[in-house]
Each structure stands twice: as C-alpha cells, then as structure tokens.
Chain A
C-alpha cells in the first residue's frame, strides 16, 4: 500500500529566505505525487503534481518539487518565501494499485513565515 511521510510538522522561515518542505513516499508502483496547500479556513488547492514525466515539477506561486526515485522523495521548495505562503502543506500519493483514484495524504507541514 502507498504511504507518505512528511518529515516536519512545522517549518519556520523568514520572508525572502528559501523554503524546503520534506516528503518521502512509499509505493509498490510508479506513483503520482502531489502537493496541496491549505490556507487558514480555506479548502485545499493543488500546488503541483508529478505524473512520471519530468522529474522537476513547477507549480503555482513559484513552488517546485523534484521527484527522486532513488531517495523515494518529493520535497517542495521555493527560492524566496512570501508572507502569503504561510499555510499548511500536504504531500499526497496515488498509484496504479487503486487505479490512481485514491489519494493518501501525509500529516501535513505548517509553514510559518516571519517578517
């Protein structure tokens, strides 16, 4: 069965500094991987997704993630944090075992951005 581990429950950065949110996955098949963002009192919005094409995936708002099969990782990065990036981020996996129709969520990483 597929699973996701988000290695940090909270990450704190200063505005203008780089962001790194870490995610490791487990899957018996070639997975699809997603990052979703949840702003306070809002629903979930897709940031980016990996579907076995390019290993470096670019998303919205300057975020990107790199799929590394050898490390079973899909870390999310951004060169320069903005105050509006403060939110909770979820790494998510799906795979062929469920016809790519079920998502398995990590426990989330809360990103705090200070001025």
Chain B
C-alpha cells in the first residue's frame, strides 16, 4: 500500500463550488504539506503543518484553507473554486526531526483538479 494517498485522483467541478481534497499518510510523519503544480512553474507551497495544532500559510494560500484532522490526515479545501485553481495538487510528508539537513519529502500521487 502507498505511504501517502490522495483522494480523489481526478475531479472536475464548476466555478463557485466548494471542494475538498484529502490526504492520508501511514509514514508516522508529523509534517505535512500541500503543493500545486502548474506547467512551467514547478511546485508551489500552499499550506504546511508541523503538527496537528500547527498550520502555516505557504506562498500561495489565497483561496485555499486546510484542516489537520489527525497526525495522518491533512485536507485542502477550495471554498469557492475558480478556473485559475485548475492544477495538479500534491500532498507531501516529511521526517518529524526538526532542523535535520536533507529532510526529504515524500509525495502522494497527486489530484488533478479542473475548474470549469
């Protein structure tokens, strides 16, 4: 079984709809992240969470919100979807030890979201 899972894998929605993307992990990591990927722009950080009580905005948090329901679950919501939120969304986790050089992140398979 995959260590980091995302649901749904694909979603088409309409402008103005609320949508939630879910991420679950079995790696036991405290730190979780949400990114979006757009062609030619790489991955950009939306939100990150260092533990259940700690939520932080990334570089492009406007229009998004998150919920950390448990150590293993981190959800991303679009309260009112708009077409420029069409993108590939990735969840990631990282090792719980802070300040450790080389802390790689482990990525889920991605959710392809289309907003019409």
Contacts and interface: CB of A to CB of B under 8 A. Distances in A.
Contacts of B99: 96, 99-100
Interface residues of A, number: 26
A108 B107 contact: no
B90 A44 contact: yes
A32 B107 contact: no
A101 B42 contact: no
B103 A94 contact: yes
Contact of B107 (A44, A52, A94, A96): A44
B50 A101 contact: yes
6 contacts: A43-B90, A44-B107, A45-B107, A96-B99, A101-B98, A107-B42
Interface of B: 4, 31, 35, 40-45, 48, 50, 90, 94, 98-105, 107-110
Given A94-B103, A100-B103, A106-B42, 17 more contacts: A30-B101, A32-B102, A42-B109, A42-B110, A43-B108, A44-B90, A44-B107, A46-B104, A50-B102, A90-B43, A100-B98, A100-B101, A101-B31, A101-B94, A101-B98, A105-B35, A107-B41
